[in-house]
């Protein structure tokens, strides 16, 4: 393997010694891509709480499922990614 690309410093440490050429490419949005965007506040309805994940991170969302259910009447949950059993309480 010529190079190993990871997303965090922690992962680079975990794989240190596995490959001499480890590059860290942070998982983030480039602020320059969003410089023209003007946000606006929502003035009506419930506040939104968001979560973004992948099929591999649904365990995190499952840990939050009781919180999601408890606050379902107080906030709009906006979730991108896999939905475990709490999906009935989530805005889609």
User: Which residue, 62, 28, 64, 34, is CA-closest to 49?
Assistant: 64
Nearest to 54 by CA among 75, 36, 27: 27
Residue 87 has a pLDDT of 54
Looking at residue 38, its pLDDT comes to 82
The domain segmentation of the chain, as residue ranges, is: 1-29, 47-92
pLDDT digits (tens, 9 = 90+) for 41-75: 777 788 888 877 776 766 777 788 889 889 989 99
Q: What is the pLDDT of residue 11?
A: 92
Task: Answer positive or negative: Cα dihedral of 71, 51, 85, 83.
Answer: positive
Does residue 3 carry a pLDDT above 90? Answer: yes
Tokens 């999906």 correspond to what residue?
Answer: 87
CA atoms within 13 A on the CB side of 70: 5
Mean pLDDT of the chain: 81
How many residues make up the chain in this entry? 92
pLDDT of 85 strictly over 60 = no
């Amino acid at each position: 393997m010529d190079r190993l690309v990871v997303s965090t410093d922690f992962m680079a440490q975990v794989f240190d010694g596995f490959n001499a050429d480890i590059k860290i490419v942070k998982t983030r949005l480039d602020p320059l891509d969003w410089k023209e965007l003007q946000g606006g506040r929502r003035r009506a309805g419930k506040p939104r709480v968001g979560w973004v994940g992948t099929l591999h991170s649904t365990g995190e969302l499952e840990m939050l499922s009781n919180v999601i259910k408890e606050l379902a009447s107080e906030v709009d949950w906006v979730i991108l990614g896999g939905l475990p059993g709490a999906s009935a309480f989530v805005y889609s």
